[in-house]
Structure 1
């Protein structure tokens, strides 16, 4: 079955977006050595579940929406706001899913912060 394996975050100011995601989530971001401006985003260790992606100039594409999983919603909500992001809704908890809320980053991109409920053993 096809799965999402990469994401791209468009940005009006890529350097500002890089600073936001490094501060808010501790992601490692490095400039790609290719023929156009593109920054590779490493969201975690290779043996951890999840995907990596990129930040690119908005001219290369339009807005996208990502789901970003965390182990402590409130801790990361505070980091998002401190880094310049803003929440578009109050946190809500959906049974069987987890705590979540949509937020906007410094580039106007909308994502969802989610603390998934633990998997049943």
Structure 2
């Protein structure tokens, strides 16, 4: 069974959105040291229920939340997605030192990510 492991909030104004969630939910944001502007979102202590996520400026100016699902192998799951009527909208890409990620849509058009961890990803 594959589990949701990460959420991503895409918004036109990250600073405004971070301030909102800091004040309303006590979430903590930390700038990721990667190739693009991305903030890690910490929603609670390590032993609290729930998942953490990320926040970024939306590439198309639209606000959305995308859930990412842990899979054993992104390539294998891309085949499964396509075999069952889904489509890949962003091909497999490395997240340096984290793993590999692809974005897909289910047959109803809902966006989701699939990711497998690999600390050697470049």
Matched, 1:2 2:21: no
Task: Name segments (4+ residues, structure 1) moved above 3 Å.
Answer: none
Give aligned pairs, total.
Answer: 66
Q: Spell out the pairing of 1:9-28 with structure 2 (5 A cutoff).
A: 9-28=9-28
Report the Cα offset of residue 63 of structure 1. 1.6
Question: What is the CA–CA distance in structure 1 between the aligned matches of 2:3 and 2:19, rounded to whole Å?
Answer: 28
Q: Spell out the pairing of 1:22-61 with structure 2 (5 A cutoff).
A: 22-59=22-59
* Alpha-carbon displacement from aligned partner over 1:16-55 (angstroms, at most 9, x marks no partner): 0100110110001111111100000000011111100011
The TM-score normalised by the length of structure 2 is 0.50
Shift in alpha-carbon separation, 1:34–1:11, aligned structure 2, 3 A: same
Compute the RMSD of aligned alpha carbons. 2.0
Shift in alpha-carbon separation, 1:14–1:46, aligned structure 2, 3 A: same
Matched position secondary structure for 2:29: strand
Question: What is the CA–CA distance in structure 2 between the aligned matches of 1:7 and 1:22, rounded to whole Å?
Answer: 16
| Larger proportion of strand | 2
Report the Cα offset of residue 64 of structure 1. 2.4
Cα contact 2:39–2:56 (8 A) shared by 1: yes
Return 5+ residue gaps in structure 1 as ranges.
67-121
Report the Cα offset of residue 62 of structure 1. 5.8
The TM-score normalised by the length of structure 1 is 0.50
Cα contact 2:8–2:66 (8 A) shared by 1: no
Question: What is the CA–CA distance in structure 1 between the aligned matches of 2:13 and 2:64, rounded to whole Å?
Answer: 14
Shift in alpha-carbon separation, 1:35–1:65, aligned structure 2, 3 A: closer
